[in-house]
Structure 1
Amino acid sequence: MKKFFSTIRNIFTIEDLRVRILNTVGFLIIFRLGSFVVLPGIDPSKLDDNVAGILGILDTMLGGAFSNASIFGLGIMPYISASIVIQLLTMAVPYFQKLQKEGDSGRKKINQITRVLTIAITFAQGSAYLAGAIPADAIVLENKFLFTLSSLTILTAGTIFCMWLGERITDKGIGNGISMLIMIGIISRFPGSLMQEAVTRGMSEALFFLLEILALFFVVMAVVLLTQAVRRIPVQYAKQVVGNKVYGGQRQYIPLKVNSAGVMPIIFAQSLMFLPSMVGGYFAESSDVAQYVATTFSNFQSWEYNLTFAIMIMLFTFFYTAISVNPNQIADDMKRNGGFIPGVKPGKATSEFIDTVLTRVTFPGSLFLAVVAIMPAFAQMAGVNTNFAQFFGGTSLLIMVGVILDTLQQIESYLLMRHYEGMMKSGKLKGRSQNIAVA
């Protein structure tokens, strides 16, 4: 405990780090305050707080702003959707590939295109949000056209403001700003969910509640292992004589993450899982099979839903890993810089070796990711309430763990640069190597 307080004191001793932490806290407070400002023309007492399904997951990420019909009702999600679209286009469209290779100028153009696409997506999602997520009796403004136009404008401005807050956190604060906004929205729901679960259990089921907390602890530790786990491929660089000095000759590593895809497979799979129930609902009256599909895939605890969900996550994990990690590019960069994997020929053989290793580590990673994704369903089957069960896995837990680890890494870098002892006894976060080959 003494060492912990000493580390906290060291953190606030560094002026730059202290200012960045205070800036981050200030920006996050502004974001949370905006989540409670309701759109003009809406009676908040008539809003439905119980949002289920994929909308419930979205509401959790936004910290309740979605169900509150606030000016940040869509939050940063349209920007994330636009970023995903641009990232996929970068993999497939030559124009975007060319922009990516142009350096800073290309990145500025991509960012500008992403912002314009964000506005378009916000208008589309905002229209669906106003039409389907807000009860008709909650709208008190008589002129529906004026309400829709003003609300779309405010929602778009709110999303752009959230995007600006995220960029300010990245520049002036600590951690990745966009990820921090999502994480603070998720964490804001945790105390209330925990208190609700504790009150529900009461003293009669206090032991069961303690077992839930213990299970949550082990699930979080497992997710940390999944996030940090890497397969290091040794790379040897040939010695080069430049003038009177000898360069190279050292051994470094290529870190291939067990979960290179992050939370994207869960997001993609979750986005598609509502389609079977929707399509089945249209034909439910004329077909018994369609009615069965609609009923089964509307139940998040059914084995059919969870099996399909897990399989889709595994498939999307391989797909997203394939488009985000390019073994051919890694092999070419190594060959250009005079690096080689011991026992493997440079060029095509190196690319095939990296691809084989990547496939082998991705399979257990995708399997583990699928298990983490369906853990909330098992938690609900065990009797955990819906709100608290979402923290036992899925997108929420993966985002929280990933963002917290990334933020701790940045804080530790500041400490080590000022020659303070890091946050771990080893002086660095576990799972990270000092010798990493950058491809």
Structure 2
Amino acid sequence: METIIRKIKMIGGDASLRNRVLFVLGALVVFRLLANVPIPAAAGQNLSALLANDQALGFLNLLTGGGLSAVSVVMLGVGPYITASIIFQLLTMMSPKIKAMQSEEGEMGRRKMTQYSRLLTIPLALVQGYGLIAYLTKSGILTGLTPFEILTNTVIVAAGSMLLMWIGELISEFGIGNGVSLIIFAGIVSRIPATLGQLAYTFDVTQIPTYLASLVATLAIIMAVVYMTEAERPVPITYAKQVRGGHTTGGSMTYLPLRVNQAGVIPIIFALSILTIPTIVANALATMGNGTLQAVAVFVQKMLTNGWIHNSLYFGFVFIFTYFYTAVTF
């Protein structure tokens, strides 16, 4: 507790640090405001009941802080940008040219990778935006849309995702921490008041032992996550002794601290982003007039709504992305 108070005082006493923190807070407020601005075709609509039966879109709604349930202009969140980053991260493992550009060209190479990720985000956002609009139209949420209105709303949703990407990059440059991660964090945390309100509304005195057990389990999980995230493995490094002019130098020993969890939560975010893509594409295909495409869409939807299959794919993607991310960054 003393450490937290000391850091808060340090932020208040350092004008530069204080401005960075205020910039982050301001950017997150803008994000929360955008998450409650509906697209033109969905004024007054809410998808809470629909999302309760779709696990993949429920995850997307969680990451966007309710932006999807409100059918807002940022209902895609930063998902397309994350997907584009995943694609280029995987390409570094398969293409020697891209790997050389990232590792050998230094800062210039990393800027090129970022620029390519931005460009790839545009078509991904358009495809995912169209898939969501088509799914909402089929579900009866959006009605009476002409082809021009569908195109307009798709462009608005894609532009909202690009705007969030830009806000995230501004946070990374002028604020503190990784902007995209902070946007995702803000989206998840924003659901806490609604969850607590629902819990208070359905409060049952007879369930107090269950509430206490859930609270203890939650705190234990948080402590375990923090412990594993901050855990380090010290790798011993020994320097050889050198004798020059009768003087002996070196021979000291130090340690190289390596994080046990090199990837952090990045693989989890990647896995969630990847899992939402088949759902969105299948929803779009289901609206097509082709019988074969509709059959494929129904098959994919049934697979992804199966809890065992969904959780197995989720675990598999997290495992794979942890390996790839560690191999790329280490």
**Structure 2-normalised TM-score?**
0.80
Contact 1:63/1:188 (8 A) holds in 2: yes
**Match among 302, 305, 309 for residue 298 of structure 1:** 305
Aligned residues: 311
State the AA in 2 paired with 1:59: N
Contact 2:60/2:276 (8 A) holds in 1: no
Distance apart, 1:254 and its partner CA: 3.4
Distance apart, 1:120 and its partner CA: 1.3
Give a deviation string over 1:87-118, Cα, whole Å, max 9, x none. Answer: 11112212212211111222222121111001
Which residue in the other structure is 1:29 paired with? 29
Counterparts of 2:278 and 2:4 in 1: how far apart (Å)?
A: 49
Alignment of 1:270-309 (within 5 A): 271=274, 298-300=305-307, 308=312
Contact 1:239/1:249 (8 A) holds in 2: yes
Percent of aligned pairs with the same residue?
A: 36
Are residue 44 (structure 1) and residue 7 (structure 2) matched? no
Counterparts of 2:73 and 2:319 in 1: how far apart (Å)?
A: 36
Paired residue secondary structure (2:42): coil
Contact 1:265/1:320 (8 A) holds in 2: no
Which residue in the other structure is 1:109 paired with? 112
Higher relative contact order (CA 8 A, sep 6+): 2
Counterparts of 1:43 and 1:317 in 2: how far apart (Å)?
A: 38
Which residue in the other structure is 1:130 paired with? 133
Give a deviation string over 1:314-336, Cα, whole Å, max 9, x none. Answer: 7526632663355xxxxxxxxxx
Contact 2:80/2:161 (8 A) holds in 1: yes
The verdict on how the C-alpha distance between 1:10 and 1:144 changes in structure 2, with shifts beyond 3 A counting, is: same
Counterparts of 2:105 and 2:204 in 1: how far apart (Å)?
A: 61
Paired residue secondary structure (1:27): helix
Counterparts of 1:35 and 1:146 in 2: how far apart (Å)?
A: 24
The verdict on how the C-alpha distance between 1:248 and 1:155 changes in structure 2, with shifts beyond 3 A counting, is: farther
Counterparts of 2:170 and 2:242 in 1: how far apart (Å)?
A: 43
Are residue 219 (structure 1) and residue 221 (structure 2) matched? yes
Are residue 320 (structure 1) and residue 304 (structure 2) matched? no
Which residue in the other structure is 1:171 paired with? 173
Distance apart, 1:240 and its partner CA: 7.5
Paired residue secondary structure (2:236): strand
Paired residue secondary structure (1:68): coil
Alignment of 1:406-417 (within 5 A): none
Counterparts of 1:158 and 1:227 in 2: how far apart (Å)?
A: 32
Paired residue secondary structure (2:258): strand
Paired residue secondary structure (1:138): coil
Which residue in the other structure is 1:159 paired with? 161
Counterparts of 1:196 and 1:143 in 2: how far apart (Å)?
A: 34
Are residue 70 (structure 1) and residue 76 (structure 2) matched? no
State the AA in 1 paired with 2:320: F
Paired residue secondary structure (2:74): coil
Contact 1:46/1:137 (8 A) holds in 2: no
The verdict on how the C-alpha distance between 1:149 and 1:172 changes in structure 2, with shifts beyond 3 A counting, is: same
Counterparts of 1:268 and 1:168 in 2: how far apart (Å)?
A: 21
Distance apart, 1:146 and its partner CA: 1.7
| Deviates further, 168-177 or 130-139 | 130-139
Give a deviation string over 1:100-141, Cα, whole Å, max 9, x none. Answer: 11112222221211110011111111111111145554335x
The verdict on how the C-alpha distance between 1:199 and 1:149 changes in structure 2, with shifts beyond 3 A counting, is: same
The verdict on how the C-alpha distance between 1:240 and 1:98 changes in structure 2, with shifts beyond 3 A counting, is: farther
Distance apart, 1:9 and its partner CA: 2.7
Distance apart, 1:274 and its partner CA: 10
Are residue 83 (structure 1) and residue 63 (structure 2) matched? no
Distance apart, 1:181 and its partner CA: 0.5
Counterparts of 1:92 and 1:189 in 2: how far apart (Å)?
A: 39
Structure 2 unaligned residues grouped into runs of 5+: 283-290, 292-298
| Deviates further, 6-15 or 68-77 | 6-15
